Structure 1
Amino acid sequence: MTGYLLGIDAGTTSFKLGLYTDRGAAVHMVKEEYVLLTQKAGWVEYKAEDYWALLCRLLQRLLAESGIPPERILALSVSSQGETLICLDESGRPVMNAICWLDNRSEKEAGRIRAYFGKRLVYEKSGQADVTATWPATKILWLKEERPDTFKRTKHYLLLEDYLIYRLTGRNVCEENLWASSLLYDINRDCWWGDMLRYLGITEEQLPERMGCGRPVGPVSAAASGQTGLSGGTLVVTGALDQTCGSIGAGKIFPGEVTETTGSCLAVSAAVEGFVPYCEERPVTCQNHAVKGRYTILLWSQTAGMVLKWYAGCFLHREALEGTDIYRLIDREAELAPAGSEGLVMLPHLSGASNPEYNAMARGVFYGMTLGHERKHFSRAILEAVAYMLRRNVEQIEGIGETVSGIYSMGGGAKSDIWCRIKADVTGKKVETIPVKECACLGAAILAGVGAGIFPDIDSAVKRVAGVGRVFVPAQENRAVYDRSFAAYIDLYHALEPVFGKYGN
């Protein structure tokens, strides 16, 4: 009798569930989007109970639509958004809304932690290139200072994956890949960072039991079975950070392979065999991989596909109302403009800049406009701007001595042939799309299979499911123009750096 594996992708604005055979073939998928709570400037929250309610609805829908008997689902695992913090009281109930990773309320606290510990020590403990308001440690310090009653009531600090596992099994456990960016876990010594815990005023007992990725936690509890429709015989297995699961699902977890995901943001991931030494001039994030003993370089930029969404909403509204496929229209227009957009260069920092600038005050800019520019140039300039961010990331990886043999493209941006061609031309690297539709869901399902003993380990599992997508080779005739445009992109940022944040918000 065929058994099935379930991968849950708990994303920032949607949950996706994928059901797979024990050979990695997709059987059925369901998805539901949700809207985050943003009542105050800089605050981004969601009700923790609503995460669970959303998962229950989707599990019930998956079972009903697929027709697969629940008892044939052997194991499940979660691919989770990072850093979203959930605080529980002694009875296991949330004491407040979950604080989403996008929340920036703790910028002051981030500065205090940076000043106290220093960027170098933070990196050597956690692998994080800087201290930002994203990291859970900064939010815990904010609670201590600004919400002391909530801080005192909190008995357990969990991240989203941990909370879903807790609701599914009743066990308070976590996996070490997701916690790397918390600033609470020492990734090289494989223990909680005691000095940080003492600085925050919390104890190890308030944190989950640590496990590796792809490790069995236990069966679905009777209570969760009643709420979800899952069988009590389904094994719950620890998952990993969504970017890690995406790389696993793509089958690209070996040194030399770089994955890029162009969704709302741009995320670049590269597996390396050893921890990258600290370098103040070339800051990177290098954290523990799901594969024990391996590390992952993670680089990201806040706005990538989100810039395209903004552009479409502002300047193609009429076409959208007429039923036009807006993103295909942007692709067609971009194809009509020449490489380099005839001197039009964009900075796509509509919500600040992350790696490598780490400048929350950076803003979006179009430079070089002339009377000869048309909408097609702006469409192409946006695609090129994201490719320039990608090239910066690739050059950072190569700058620390790592080899980039190829770029493997995922996310919504991978659907666009013109965008993939531009990325290949700008970076000078072969770009190959990943044929898997939802890599993070498949990556979680692979980890479920490892925990259930279906696959002997992660490496052998990804080799079994890897496929070949569309391949884009750099066009040498575009190299010179893109070298000039990329240099202009860099110079433009540095020229405007003193201006960012100087004139209003």
Structure 2
Amino acid sequence: MGNQFIISHDVGTSSNKTVLVNTKGNILATASAPYPLLTPHPNWVEQNPEDYWSAIIKTTKEVMEKSQISPKDIIGIIYTTQAMGVIPIDRQGNILRPNISWVDGRAEKQAQKIMNKFLGERLFKGVVGTTLMGKDVIPKLLWVKEMEPEIYSKTNYFLDVNGYLKFKSTGIPIMEWSGASSYGFNLKKKDWLKTFFQICGIETNKLPPLVRSIDQVGGLTKEAAQDMNLLEGTPVFGGCDDVQSAAVGADAIGEGEAHIYLGTSAWVCVSTSKNLKFKNGAAVIQSADPNMNQVVGITEAAGSCIQWIADQFYKHEKQDKSINNVFELMDAHVKEIPPGSDYLICTPWMLGERCPVSTTTTRATLFNISLEHTREHMMRAVYEGVSYNISWILENFKKDYGFEVSTLKLIGGGSLDEQWMQILADVTQKPVNTVADPQMAGAVGSAICAAIGLGIYDDFSCTKELIKTDKHYEPNQKNAKIYSELLTSYKSIYYSLNKSYAQINASRF
């Protein structure tokens, strides 16, 4: 058992992170490889699936070289990936167009068209629990059908990112339950919502067969094994989307347990066995645990807002060779600004938003700027803005679902930022725990799915033994008043400016 290892790939929006772990979830080696986002048109975001596979090959070889492990000791390969990808393949397995990314918002007209089949947005929301957006998968499938009919007609299956990588690994076109649940999945019957797809005009024979996260779906083909320098037939497992693996890697897989991911994007997620409705932009999706569901509220831009500040306002510092880490410098500057940023508020909706509000046209705002404000104020306001968004989601979860979250379990690169963690604790007035190697938590969570599939562990309760808390942050009650006041203003900014944003951006998106 001690000489057996799992390779887990976390294929995110901007890069693939790969971990080689043993059966206790301990990391032996890591590697990462970036790939670009393509924006061929305003509000379009695409990626080349070949770039994912190139990153998989590169990082697999790298962790094997670093660890000096023999390929015969690799007992499983698994992927956890960004959700909601749209990758059409033909009967020969050829990719027909670039992946339409989850942040892409091109299909607003198709979303409206689908809702009109249900006699309008209001009735649709009453039936389904949420409105459809141009960022949702089924409108994007309809967009392909209407705008790229030749591609649609040649499509044998639509795959998500995880499905594509399993296909490249095994030659078998399939989709895992959690990935399917961001398309259209019946959580009770564990099957495609076939009638809904048909009403929307999407042929269900273009949807691949379904598997669970813990299922062995096949073995590495000869070609894939040669690409990776691994053995042909090495078991490949179902895997899951990133939100679901993060819950496992954060030890937030049990009833009512919550985790927050802070990376390029962010999300708040609560696990539950209940079959709940979509509300206020929150989605109810399949957990990595086949017996559980998850309520998740996704914030489109989080760490990407911090990166934007670094790119636009710290160019000089980034070029200064005496500064090793510009983000540590930014952290020190954030500390100098008082809580509330002297009443400067940032709404971090750089890409529109999913939750706590659903909108494709809204964009980020710096509100209430005056002569006293500096770039450091703007920066702290961004950290606080993401935290306001998360706090609003938590409030909705309590109101809509009765979730009383006592402690926030944080993972993702943002959880390494101690100032941000304290701000989040202060804004939400909840204690915050982080895990060790938080950027690798999703990959470790995915590896645990493979370990359960291999029979090494009986079920997902093993996370209590495998996942340990690293750092703890207590909320400062002195800051509760200012943040409560500014959170109220933060919400009112959305309601006051939403129509203005829709008006100015209507012709652009």
User: Which range, TM-score by smaller chain?
Assistant: over 0.9
Deviates more, 1:368-377 or 1:169-178: 368-377
Does 1:381 find its partner at 2:381? yes
C-alpha displacement of 1:201: 4.5
Whether the aligned pair in 2 keeps the contact of 1:333 and 1:375 (CA below 8 Å) is no
Whether the aligned pair in 2 keeps the contact of 1:76 and 1:444 (CA below 8 Å) is no
Does 1:499 find its partner at 2:497? no
Give the match for residue 152 of structure 1.
153
Give the match for residue 390 of structure 1.
390
C-alpha displacement of 1:233: 4.4
SS at match of 1:499: helix
Amino acid in structure 1 at the alignment position of 2:489? A
**Residues 128, 7 of structure 1: alpha-carbon distance in 2 compared, 3 angstrom cutoff:** farther
C-alpha distance after superposition, 1:242-269 (max 9, x if no partner): 1110111121112332211121222111
C-alpha distance after superposition, 1:417-457 (max 9, x if no partner): 11111111110111111213401110111111111111112
**Residues 66, 124 of structure 1: alpha-carbon distance in 2 compared, 3 angstrom cutoff:** farther
Give the match for residue 38 of structure 2.
37
**Residues 95, 257 of structure 1: alpha-carbon distance in 2 compared, 3 angstrom cutoff:** same
SS at match of 1:23: coil
Distance 1:309 1:266 in 2: 14
Distance 1:191 1:120 in 2: 26
Give the match for residue 51 of structure 2.
50
Amino acid in structure 1 at the alignment position of 2:310? A
Does 1:234 find its partner at 2:234? yes
Give the match for residue 301 of structure 1.
299
**Residues 97, 353 of structure 1: alpha-carbon distance in 2 compared, 3 angstrom cutoff:** closer
C-alpha displacement of 1:78: 0.7
Does 1:455 find its partner at 2:460? no
**Residues 14, 278 of structure 1: alpha-carbon distance in 2 compared, 3 angstrom cutoff:** closer
Give the match for residue 78 of structure 2.
77
Deviates more, 1:411-420 or 1:57-66: 57-66
Out of 443, 446, 457, the residue aligned to residue 444 of structure 1 is 446
Whether the aligned pair in 2 keeps the contact of 1:257 and 1:270 (CA below 8 Å) is yes
What are the within-5 Å matches in structure 2 for residues 81-120 of structure 1?
81-117=82-118
Whether the aligned pair in 1 keeps the contact of 2:134 and 2:360 (CA below 8 Å) is no
Amino acid in structure 2 at the alignment position of 1:196? F
Give the match for residue 141 of structure 1.
142
**Residues 121, 52 of structure 1: alpha-carbon distance in 2 compared, 3 angstrom cutoff:** farther
Give the match for residue 284 of structure 1.
282
SS at match of 2:240: strand
SS at match of 1:497: helix
Whether the aligned pair in 1 keeps the contact of 2:111 and 2:139 (CA below 8 Å) is yes
**Residues 230, 133 of structure 1: alpha-carbon distance in 2 compared, 3 angstrom cutoff:** farther
Amino acid in structure 1 at the alignment position of 2:59? L
Q: For structure 1, list consecutive stretches of 5 or more residues without a partner in the other structure.
A: none
What are the within-5 Å matches in structure 2 for residues 241-256 of structure 1?
241-256=241-256
Amino acid in structure 2 at the alignment position of 1:7? S
Whether the aligned pair in 2 keeps the contact of 1:45 and 1:103 (CA below 8 Å) is yes
C-alpha displacement of 1:122: 7.0
Deviates more, 1:116-125 or 1:302-311: 116-125
What are the within-5 Å matches in structure 2 for residues 326-345 of structure 1?
326-345=326-345
SS at match of 2:366: strand
SS at match of 1:470: strand
Distance 1:71 1:124 in 2: 54
Whether the aligned pair in 2 keeps the contact of 1:284 and 1:297 (CA below 8 Å) is yes
**Residues 366, 102 of structure 1: alpha-carbon distance in 2 compared, 3 angstrom cutoff:** closer
Distance 1:149 1:434 in 2: 48
Give the match for residue 465 of structure 1.
466
Amino acid in structure 2 at the alignment position of 1:447? C
Distance 2:55 2:156 in 1: 25
Give the match for residue 16 of structure 1.
17
Distance 1:356 1:335 in 2: 27
Give the match for residue 5 of structure 2.
4
**Residues 410, 157 of structure 1: alpha-carbon distance in 2 compared, 3 angstrom cutoff:** same
C-alpha distance after superposition, 1:210-254 (max 9, x if no partner): 111111112222222122211124211111111110111121112
Distance 2:249 2:121 in 1: 32
Distance 1:56 1:503 in 2: 44
Amino acid in structure 1 at the alignment position of 2:297? L
Give me the CA root mean square deviation.
2.1
Whether the aligned pair in 1 keeps the contact of 2:129 and 2:278 (CA below 8 Å) is no
**Residues 298, 486 of structure 1: alpha-carbon distance in 2 compared, 3 angstrom cutoff:** same
Amino acid in structure 1 at the alignment position of 2:294? T
What are the within-5 Å matches in structure 2 for residues 398-437 of structure 1?
398-399=398-399, 400-437=401-438
Whether the aligned pair in 2 keeps the contact of 1:45 and 1:97 (CA below 8 Å) is yes
Distance 1:119 1:255 in 2: 32
Distance 2:387 2:94 in 1: 44
Give the match for residue 367 of structure 2.
367
Distance 2:502 2:430 in 1: 35
Distance 1:197 1:278 in 2: 18
C-alpha distance after superposition, 1:95-119 (max 9, x if no partner): 2222222222222112212222466
Distance 2:443 2:76 in 1: 13
Distance 2:208 2:424 in 1: 41
Distance 1:180 1:70 in 2: 34
Distance 1:171 1:213 in 2: 15
Distance 1:291 1:232 in 2: 28
Distance 1:95 1:481 in 2: 52
Q: For structure 2, list consecutive stretches of 5 or more residues without a partner in the other structure.
A: none
C-alpha displacement of 1:28: 0.4
Distance 1:339 1:50 in 2: 42
SS at match of 1:500: helix
Deviates more, 1:3-12 or 1:100-109: 100-109
SS at match of 2:384: helix
Normalised by the length of structure 2, the TM-score is: 0.93
C-alpha displacement of 1:202: 4.4
Distance 1:187 1:119 in 2: 23
**Residues 378, 105 of structure 1: alpha-carbon distance in 2 compared, 3 angstrom cutoff:** closer
Whether the aligned pair in 1 keeps the contact of 2:9 and 2:79 (CA below 8 Å) is yes
Higher relative contact order (CA 8 A, sep 6+): 1
Whether the aligned pair in 2 keeps the contact of 1:14 and 1:34 (CA below 8 Å) is yes
Distance 2:431 2:419 in 1: 14
Distance 2:28 2:136 in 1: 36
**Residues 150, 498 of structure 1: alpha-carbon distance in 2 compared, 3 angstrom cutoff:** closer
Percent identity of the aligned residues? 26
Give the match for residue 310 of structure 2.
312
Normalised by the length of structure 1, the TM-score is: 0.94
Whether the aligned pair in 2 keeps the contact of 1:362 and 1:497 (CA below 8 Å) is yes
Distance 2:367 2:308 in 1: 18
SS at match of 2:20: strand
Does 1:481 find its partner at 2:482? yes
Question: How many residue pairs were aligned?
Answer: 500
Deviates more, 1:156-165 or 1:115-124: 115-124
Distance 1:43 1:104 in 2: 6
